[in-house]
């Protein structure tokens, strides 16, 4: 197969200077939402930039238009790729909205105009994109949720490294901390996920020819993100993620006709350390694998006032936990281990996820280890100890707060 035409593994079919006033449109959208069911979501998923997600999405749009379907472009970024840009010709494009920010002018999808237009399908590129301040939502996936709620079908694109629960895994593979993420629930709720696949060798070849990035950026990309081993690992992640989605749908279908013996309950114990976010993601993957519930718990010492510098660390943990659908609990007591053990018993926890203790060996002998106490005082609960792999940037940020 020609490497310029990505191989596609298909899943199961199933401007203005500032944002305009939204109140009248929102009321109209609400009435339409009552009258129309939620739209369908189709995601083209890739391992990295340049595999052909946008190209494939636009090619499908032309096929749908040829069949008489009403399709518009909500937002597409051709990245100066001539073949991709050529496919925009012949498609109706909803003009993006211009927003002034810090002396520059940016373009974002005009979500409200898309909803007023009410097409059958809308194309939205780069699902994990962070919107410019002044846009109605902080993230593009939130804008997509508005469109779906209005009963409009969406076709979108995203790379596997932007999936929230894989953030730490991707960092370990690439050495790059991805800042733009989207919740796993968005992918879970998609009606169709299509893997746009390309071998690492073919993608590197495209990169060298200037198809993916400007030639001036190629040398740096080849020694940082776009290496054969990193791309192979990311490719495996994207294919495995899609396989897991199929397996979960199959198990869910079986579960509808079976009596479950018991539901797994995963409890993640977090502190104010920056790597607590990684514990939450690890707990989510565990709960997802067993189709269980996820609880994220933090214990504050009774009578201790939390310094203002600590609040952002905990809020970051709560934000990540809620984006992954976890139940969050902030407890207070005189003994952290006692509170956690009691919580585990009350909520019938079956797995406890803990980070490595930061106490020295002497401190553990003198004051005892929380991990040891939990393991000793719980019965019938599997305890998972996650190693400390906090990256240097996050460690420096945390130490700066202490």
Is 0.85 surpassed by the pTM of this model?
A: no
Do residues 335 and 239 both lie within one domain? Answer: no
Last residue of a domain, one of 251, 278, 293: 251
Q: Is 385 helix (H, G, I), strand (E, B) or coil?
A: strand
Average pLDDT over residues 15-39: 51
Q: 242 and 381, same structural domain?
A: no
Give yes or no: residues 179 and 90 share one domain: yes
Same domain assignment for residues 381 and 292: yes
317 within 8 A of 298, measured Cβ to Cβ: yes
How many domains are contained in the chain? Answer: 2
Alpha-carbon distance of 327 to 329, in angstroms, equals 7
Question: What is the per-residue pLDDT for 301?
Answer: 81
Q: What are the distances in angstroms from CA 321 to CA 245, 290, 295, 385?
A: 21, 18, 9, 18
Domain presence at residue 53: yes
pLDDT digits 0-9 by tens, 341-385: 999 999 999 999 998 765 544 444 444 578 888 888 888 899 988
Q: Would you say residue 284 lies in a domain?
A: yes
CATH (domain of 22) = 3.40.50.300
Burial (0-12, 13-18, 19+ Cβ within 10 Å), 76: buried
For residue 308, what pLDDT is reported?
A: 63
Tens-place pLDDT, residues 165-219 = 999 999 999 999 999 999 999 999 999 999 999 999 999 999 898 888 888 888 8
Is 191:42 a contact under the CB 8 Å cutoff? yes
* Cα–Cα distance for residue pair 292/252, rounded to 1 Å: 12
Q: Are residues 231 and 293 located together in one domain of the fold?
A: no
Same domain assignment for residues 240 and 291 = no
State which residues form the domain around 201: 7-251
């Amino acid at each position: 197969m020609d490497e310029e035409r990505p191989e596609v593994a298909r899943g199961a079919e199933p401007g203005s200077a500032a944002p305009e006033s939204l109140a009248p449109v929102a009321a109209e959208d609400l009435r339409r939402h009552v009258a129309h069911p939620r739209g369908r979501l189709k995601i083209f998923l890739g391992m990295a930039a340049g595999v052909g997600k946008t190209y494939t999405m636009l090619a499908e749009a032309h096929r749908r238009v040829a069949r008489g379907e009403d399709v518009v472009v909500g937002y597409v970024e051709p990245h100066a790729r001539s073949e991709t840009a050529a496919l925009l010709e012949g498609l109706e494009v909803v003009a993006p909205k211009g927003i002034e920010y810090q002396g520059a002018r940016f373009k974002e999808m005009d979500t409200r105009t898309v909803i007023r237009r009410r097409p059958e399908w809308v194309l939205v590129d780069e699902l994990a994109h962070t919107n410019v301040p002044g846009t109605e939502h902080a993230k593009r996936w939130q804008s997509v949720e508005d469109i779906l709620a209005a009963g409009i079908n969406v076709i979108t694109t995203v790379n596997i490294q932007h999936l929230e629960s894989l953030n730490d895994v991707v960092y370990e593979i690439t050495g790059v901390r991805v800042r733009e993420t989207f919740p796993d629930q968005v992918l879970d709720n998609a009606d169709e996920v299509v893997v746009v696949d390309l071998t690492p060798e073919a993608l590197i070849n495209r990169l060298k020819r200037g198809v993916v990035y400007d030639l001036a950026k190629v040398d740096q990309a080849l020694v940082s993100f776009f290496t054969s081993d990193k791309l192979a690992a990311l490719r495996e992640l994207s294919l495995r993620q899609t396989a897991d989605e199929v397996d979960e749908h199959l198990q869910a279908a079986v579960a509808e006709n079976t009596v479950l013996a018991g539901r797994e309950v995963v409890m993640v114990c977090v502190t104010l350390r920056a790597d607590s976010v990684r514990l939450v993601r690890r707990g989510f993957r565990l709960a997802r694998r067993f189709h269980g519930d996820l609880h994220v718990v933090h214990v504050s010492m009774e009578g201790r006032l939390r310094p203002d510098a600590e609040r952002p660390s905990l809020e970051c943990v709560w934000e990540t936990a809620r984006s992954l659908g976890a139940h969050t609990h902030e407890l207070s007591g005189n003994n952290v281990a006692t509170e956690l053990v009691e919580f585990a018993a009350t909520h019938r926890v079956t797995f406890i996820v803990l980070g490595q203790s930061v106490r020295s060996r002497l401190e553990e002998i003198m004051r005892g280890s929380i991990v040891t106490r939990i393991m000793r005082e719980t019965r019938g609960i599997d305890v998972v100890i996650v190693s400390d792999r906090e990256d240097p940037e996050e460690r420096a940020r945390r130490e700066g707060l202490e």
